[in-house]
Amino acid sequence: MFRDRSILITGGTGSFGRVLARTLLRNHDPRRLVIFSRDELKQYEMRAEFGDDPRMRFFIGDVRDRERLERAFDGIELVVHAAAMKQVPAAEYNPFEAIKTNVFGAENVINAAIDRGVHRVIALSTDKAANPINLYGATKLCSDKLFVAGNSYAGENGCRFAVVRYGNVVGSRGSVVPFFRKQRETGIVPVTDDRMTRFWITLEQGVQFVVRCFDWMRGGEIFVPKIPSMKILDLAEAIAPDCDTINVGIRPGEKLHETLIGEDDARRTLEFGDHYVLVPEFSWWDGEGAKAGRPLPDGFSYRSDNNERWLSVDELRQMSEKL
């Protein structure tokens, strides 16, 4: 899928983009890998980190700027859309900015991909897009809907779009892990609510899942990996075992538990060995390639509090120590 292909990553200087870029260059030998982002300092740092690899290109630009996207997409075959405004409190306080990046930016990526003849696009989503209660989740739900609908706009022989949705990423920017490490020095670790649970996935696991989804996709699917849950108190114990914890209250727009597949979505979801697929409701989508999937039972939901797999304190400690 990736060998000798031209690939572009929006938000390519972020945590996910760096790991994806390293994986593609090391294991898949693309002809050209374009890093598209708006931060020149991060691009400078990434260029220094990766060295003078002749396959890499760095493009300054913002997904809000359709003309710049169209220039960057020239000759591109595969796109991973990772650019987003994703901090929940920042989106609550700056709602118009979140909408411009996460919703209008998604529309720009879709239109530019269709107009420039891109073959396939995978957009990254979040558990917060399922039954959203905050603006970030709502904008990502809108983005998911746009990418699914983009297949109809592209036509039968055009670009194909799909979405990958998963939970909190260990070690990504804004992760709770470095915050807990810093608070460890004070002897007190604040948690918003000691009942809180979250889905948990590593950057490497997320990257590998996205890579596989390029092979699986036919257009319009939302792919959801089966990943473990963790309790916030277990994470605090793993990182700061000798510290006291205090409840500071749930922040605006924050959930007690996260959802990856709600009950209503489950009616159009198929289960596979290590993932789920929310199938599109298109007349042309015949389900070829998804025949091995199993329908989910009535009332099914995939939430961080009803998950079958949980990370132990020791597992969380091992994961955090690798960061």
Q: How many Å apart are CA 203 and CA 72, to the nearest integer?
A: 25
Give the other-Cβ count within 10 Å of 202's Cβ.
17
Q: Are 278 and 262 in contact (CB under 8 A)?
A: no
Q: How many Å apart are CA 291 and CA 212, to the nearest integer?
A: 17
- The gap from C-alpha 190 to its chain's centroid, in whole angstroms, comes to 26
CA angle (307, 312, 317) in 5-degree steps: 130
Q: How many Å apart are CA 57 and CA 51, to the nearest integer?
A: 12
Q: What are phi and psi of 209, to 5 degrees?
A: -65, -45
Q: Of these residues, 42, 86, 128, 255, which one is catalytic?
A: 128
Q: How many Å apart are CA 138 and CA 97, to the nearest integer?
A: 13
Tell me if residue 128 is catalytic. yes
Tokens 């989106």 found at: 91
Q: For the residues of 90-136, what is the DSSP string, one character each?
A: HHHH-HHHHHIIIIIHHHHHHHHHHHTT--EEEEE--GGGSS--SHH
Q: Which residues contact 44 (CB under 8 A, 6 or more apart)?
A: none
Question: Which residues are the active-site residues?
Answer: 128
